[in-house]
Amino acid sequence: MRRLRFNQFATVVYDQEPFMTPRDFLYSMMLENVDRKRNKRVLTKAEVEKLLTVASRAKAGSNLFRGVGDNGLISYTEYLFLLTILTKPHTGFRIAFKMLDIDGNEQVDKKEFEKLKKIIGLRKVSKEEAENATPEDQDAPNTTLQAYFFGRRGQNKLQYTEFCRFMEDLQAEVQEMEFLQFSKGMGTMRREDFADWLLYYTNEEDNELYLENLRKRIPTGESITFEEFKAFCLFINNMEDFAISVKMIADANRPIGMAQFKRAVKIATGQELSENVLDTVFKIFDLDGDNCLSHKEFIAVMKDRMLRGLRVQSQQGVSGFWKCVKREMLKGAQEALSPSSSPF
Ligand SMILES: [Ca+2]
Ligand SMILES: [Ca+2]
């Protein structure tokens, strides 16, 4: 299914393999479907060379993907990798980096990065294939991410700080685009626009009820800034920690009120949600009207939301990769929350 979605958004082909450009990738994050008016563009070797030079010179920042635009190539494996990392908290970056850093020397080289395919488990490289690979296959980058991380000749090493920066920037870039999409290009978003965004990727079954809550309970004309929106995105990416925090400060399985909710968010993310945002969330998702949110009313719904573009059947490779990452994260969380190290 994800392969299908990748192919649907990918606009270029090289060596009979479809690739997304960075613009395609962003579109796949924003849009439910793509309206394809043209055939995929077939690239020549010379054109690819040119694109890789663009990538190796690209500047870090939350404009990276937009800056490179259509002058880049993202492979299917990289697409899956980016998708899984995009909705993860920092702890997830750390673990993903460790998984790439096979020899554990705190840096990732191009060969290690190429093992992505193996980690994600899409394609087993046979021994024969590995031995027959030409030197060019081994050394020269052939995608934009490779050229960006490892340089035009694949000679550079990727440090954790750079990797982390890249992921933060990409998260920021996608958030900025989503904000602009729902604020219709304005500097603030109305609470009903924020609600639209919240419901965009949630399970559609209950959307009518949510919209009804929105109409009945939320006053018009109050706005949410990009800063408030970003804090909420951070919170969504830390949903696992939030769930743990909720269990710590409230009786298990009991619905929680706004004050407890607020406190759990602060524990999980280190940041606070604004009243505007909190109030919107409570008013929309509180289906039984007790002014509290139960696990089912909120966390279960948001877990759906987190899967965003991935809202299709999980594929073994990625879920396997992410299971490893999750295991590591839970271990980390348990350590952090164990009585000996608890700050409470
Ligand atoms: Ca290494
Ligand atoms: Ca409720």
Q: How far is the CA of 159 from the centre of ligand 1 (A)?
A: 9
Is 191:229 a contact under the CB 8 Å cutoff? no
Per-residue pLDDT tens over the stretch 257-305? 999 999 999 999 999 999 999 999 999 999 999 999 998 899 888 877 6
**Chain mean pLDDT for the chain:** 84
Q: How far is the CA of 143 from the centre of ligand 1 (A)?
A: 20
Whether residue 124 is predicted with pLDDT greater than 90 in this model: the reply is no
Q: Which ligand is nearest to the CA of 97?
A: 1
How large a percentage of the chain has pLDDT more than 70?
A: 81
Q: Is residue 165 located within the same domain as residue 216?
A: no
| pLDDT recorded at residue 71 | 95
Q: Is residue 152 located within the same domain as residue 192?
A: no
Strand 12-14 and strand 41-42: the pairing is parallel
Whether residue 331 is predicted with pLDDT greater than 70 in this model: the reply is no
Q: Which ligand is nearest to the CA of 292?
A: 2
Q: Is residue 148 located within the same domain as residue 199?
A: no
Q: Is residue 6 located within the same domain as residue 141?
A: yes
* Cα 24 from Cα 9, distance rounded (Å): 6
Q: Which of 170, 192, 220 is the last residue of a domain?
A: 170
Q: What is the CATH number of the domain that holds 228?
A: 1.10.238
Q: Is residue 65 located within the same domain as residue 213?
A: no
Q: Which of 170, 195, 210 is the last residue of a domain?
A: 170
| pLDDT recorded at residue 30 | 84
The answer to the question of residue 120 being in a domain is yes
Per-residue pLDDT tens over the stretch 160-181? 999 999 999 999 999 999 999 9
Q: How far is the CA of 125 from the centre of ligand 1 (A)?
A: 20
The answer to the question of residue 315 being in a domain is no
- Mean pLDDT score, 48-73: 94
Per-residue pLDDT tens over the stretch 16-28? 999 999 999 999 9
Six-digit token pair at 211?
Answer: 């919209």
The answer to the question of residue 319 being in a domain is no
CA atoms in the 13 A half-sphere facing the CB of 222: 13
The answer to the question of residue 258 being in a domain is yes
Whose CA is closest to 112, among 87, 81, 88, 134?
81
Q: Which of 142, 170, 198 is the last residue of a domain?
A: 170
H or E segment and range at residue 267: helix 258-269
In terms of Cβ atoms closer than 10 Å to its own Cβ (0-12, 13-18, 19+), residue 277 is buried
| pLDDT recorded at residue 171 | 92
Q: Is residue 164 located within the same domain as residue 193?
A: no
Q: Is residue 213 located within the same domain as residue 292?
A: yes
Q: Which domain holds residue 238?
A: 183-309
Q: How far is the CA of 44 from the centre of ligand 1 (A)?
A: 32
Q: How many domains does the chain have?
A: 2
Q: Is residue 238 located within the same domain as residue 272?
A: yes
Residue 189: strand pairing partners: 224
Q: Is residue 213 located within the same domain as residue 262?
A: yes
| pLDDT recorded at residue 130 | 52
Is 11:41 a contact under the CB 8 Å cutoff? yes
